[in-house]
Chains A and B, each alone.
Chain A
Amino acid sequence: MSSLFVNIFNGIVIGTIYALSALGISLILGAMNVMNFAHGEFYIFGAYFSYFFSRSLGFSPLIAILLSLGLIFWIGFLVEKTLIHSTYGNLMDSLIITFILSIVLQNIALIIFGPYPKKPPSWIIGSINVLDLFYYSSQRLITFIVAVLLLILFFIVMNKTWFGKIVRAISADREVASLMGINCDKVNSFSFGFGVALAGVAGAIISPIFGVTPMGGVGIGLTSVVVVVLGGMGSFKGCVIGGLLLGIIENIGVAYISSGYRNIFGFIILILILLFRPSGLFGTTIK
C-alpha cells in the first residue's frame, strides 16, 4: 500500500515539472502559433547554465537559477528574432525549424559540456519520513514547492499583468490584437523568450535531482508536447492538470505494468487523445 502512495506522490512531483515545462510550449503555441520542438534543449541548457554558475563559479543556487533564467530568456529572444520570425503562421515550418534546432543545440551541448552527466549541488540533503509511510528526498520536496510557487507566479503574470493580457489577447485573435495597436512582433520575441525560460527554469530546478546530459532534453521535450496535447492546446490550466496526470500515470504504469516501457505510456495517451478528443481535456483545436 505504501508503495502506491509513494508512486502517486512521486508522480505529482514529477508532474509539476512536466507542467512547468509544458506551459512554455503552450504559451509559445498560443501566442505565436509556433510549435517549439527544441523545448527540451532549452530545458537542458537551463540546467547546464545553473550547473555552470553554481558548480564552476560557486554562486548560490538561487542566484545561479536566476542567472540561467535570464540567459535562457535572452537566447530564446535571439532565436526567435533570427529563426522563428520568418515562420509566422506556418506551423509546419516552425516544426521543421525547431526540430533541426533541437539537433543543433544537443550537439552544441555535447561539444561544450561533454558527454558526462552534470549535476549542480543539492540545496539540501537527506530525506524525510512522510506520514510514517515512506521516505522521500528533501531535495525533491523543496523542488516540488519551488515548482508550485513558479506555477502560481506564472498564473499571476498571465492573469494580472500587462504582458499576460496582451499575450492572451494575441492568442485569442491575432488580427484583432494588431488592429488594436499591439506590436505583435515585439510580443512574439518576448513570449518565445518567456516560454523557453520556463523550460530553462524547470531544467535548472530539477537538475540537482537528475543531473543533465546533452541528450537529456529529448525525453522531456516529447513529454511536454504530450502534456500540451493532453491538456488541450492553448489551455494553461490543461497543462497543469495534464502534467500531473501524466506524471501519475507514468509512475503507476512503471510500478504495475512494465518499467522497460516507462516512456511509452505518454505516447499511447497522446495517440488516444488525438483520436478521441483532439481538443484535449480543456482546449480548443488549433487549425
Chain B
Amino acid sequence: MKKSNKNLLLVIFLGIVVCLPFLLDDYWLHVAILTLFYVIMASSWNLLAGYTGQVSFAHAAFAAIGAYISGILSVQMSISPLITLLFGSVIAAIFGLGLGLLCLKMGGIYLSLTTLGFSEIVHIIIKNEYEITRGTMGLEVPNLLGFYSKTAYFYIMLLVTFIIIFFLAKLIKSDHGLKFKSVLNDELAASSIGIDTVKVRVIAFTISSAIAGFAGGLYGHYLLLITPEMSSLSQMFMILAMTIIGGMGTLSGPIAGAVFLQVLSEYIRIFGKFHLLLFGVISLLVIKFAPGGIVGLYRKITQSKTDPLKIETQSKYDY
C-alpha cells in the first residue's frame, strides 16, 4: 500500500510541477524559474556541506565562473549558448578540481577560508576586469534558445533540475555516497577502513562545482545579464540559508528551503528592507531550535507514523 501511495504522490507532484506554466502568471513563472536555479545551487552545495562536511564559500563564485565563461564565449565568439554552457560548466569544474586539490592537506576550517579567499578574488577580478566582464555594469548575454519564452525556459530548467536531483540521489545512495557520509561522520575512522578521504572530498568538490557552473550559465542566459553580484557573499548567504532552513544533509531539504525562501521573499516584498535580516533570523532560529530544518520538523511531526528504526538512521544531524 505504501509503495502505491508513494507512486501516486509522485505522479501528482510531477503533474503539478509540469503544469505550472499553465497555472501561474508570467511573474510567478519567473519566480519559479529562479527558484529552480536556487534548488540546483542549494542541492549541490548541500552535497559538499551536508554530505562531506566541507563548508565551501565559493559555490556562488563557481556559478559566476560558469555564467561569465559561457557569457563571454557566446558574446565574443558568437558560439551558441547551448555549447558555451558546457564550456562554462567544465571550466568551473576545473577550477573546483584545482581548489579541491589545493585544499588537499587542509580540512575543515582551512578549506572554508581558502574558498572564501577564492570567492572574493573571483568577485574582485570580475568587478575590475571591466574590458572583458563589463564590471558592475553587467555583461549582456544572448538567450539560450535564441527566442524569449518563459514557458520553454521553465521546462529546460525543470528538466535540468530533475536530472541533477536524480543524479545527486543516485550518487548519495551509491558506494560513493556511503563514502561521503563516512567521511562526514568520522574522517579518521573512514580513512582507517581504507576510504581515501582526500579523493572523496575532491570528487565531491569537482562535481558540485560543475553543477554550480552549469546552473550559473543557465541563470545568466535566462536573465540575459550577468553581474558580479552573482559571486557576492550575500548570494552565498542565500544558498546557505536555504540549505539550513530546508534541512542540511538531506536530499529534500535544500529543495524545500529554496522553494520556501523564494516564495516567502515574494510575500514580504514590501518589507524589502528586512529581507536579509528576516532570513538570517529564521536561519538562526532553525539552527537553534530545529536543527533538521523544514525536513527535520516534518519528520518529527510524522514520526509516529513511520518506522522508528528508519528515523534513527536518518535524523542524525552532524557534519
Contacts and interface: CB of A to CB of B under 8 A. Distances in A.
Interface of A: 35, 82-83, 86, 91-93, 95-97, 99-101, 103-104, 106-108, 110-111, 218, 222, 225-226, 229, 258, 260-261, 263-264, 267-268, 270-271, 274-275, 278, 286-287
Nearest to A222: B120
B244 interface: yes
A92 B110 contact: no
A261 B277 CA distance: 30
A100 B113 contact: no
B120 A267 contact: yes
Contacts of A92: 49, 53, 55, 108-109, 112, 319
A225 B112 CA distance: 11
B156 interface: no
28 contacts: A86-B288, A91-B109, A92-B319, A93-B287, A95-B112, A96-B240, A99-B237, A99-B240, A101-B280, A101-B284, A103-B234, A103-B237, A104-B276, A104-B284, A111-B274, A222-B120, A260-B128, A261-B124, A263-B124, A264-B125, A267-B117, A268-B117, A270-B114, A271-B121, A274-B110, A278-B106, A278-B110, A287-B108
How extensive is the interface on chain B, given as a class? Answer: 35 or more
Contact of A107 (B118, B128, B280): B280
A108 B276 CA distance: 10
A237 B280 CA distance: 35
Contacts of A97: 284, 287
A110 B237 CA distance: 17
Contacts of A264: 120-121, 124-125
A198 to B, nearest CB: 20
A242 to B, nearest CB: 14
B274 A107 contact: yes
Contacts of B83: none
A104 B234 CA distance: 11
Contacts of A86: 288
B2 interface: no
A268 B121 contact: yes
Given A270-B113, A278-B110, A96 B102 contact: no
B121 A267 contact: yes
Q: Is the interface of B mostly helix, strand, loop or mixed?
A: helix
A107 B276 contact: yes
A278 B55 contact: no
A104 B244 contact: no
A136 B233 CA distance: 35
B105 interface: yes
Contacts of B105: 278
B128 A100 contact: no
A286 B106 CA distance: 10
B287 A96 contact: yes
A interface secondary structure, majority: helix
* Nearest 10 pairs of A and B residues by beta carbon: A107-B277, A104-B280, A267-B117, A270-B117, A103-B280, A264-B124, A260-B128, A100-B283, A267-B120, A91-B109
A111 B277 CA distance: 10
Nearest to B243: A96
Given A103-B280, A111-B277, A274 B113 contact: yes
Interface string B202-241: 0000000000000000000000000000000110010011
A278 B276 CA distance: 34
A90 to B, nearest CB: 8
A92 B117 CA distance: 17
A275 B125 CA distance: 21
Given A107-B277, A267-B121, A268-B121, A100 B102 contact: no
Contacts of A263: 120, 124
B281 A104 contact: yes
Contact of B237 (A83, A100, A225, A267): A100
A239 B262 CA distance: 41
Contacts of B106: 274, 278
B3 interface: no
B116 interface: yes
A174 to B, nearest CB: 17
B288 to A, nearest CB: 7
A271 B117 contact: yes
A225 B113 contact: yes
B93 to A, nearest CB: 19
Contacts of A110: 273
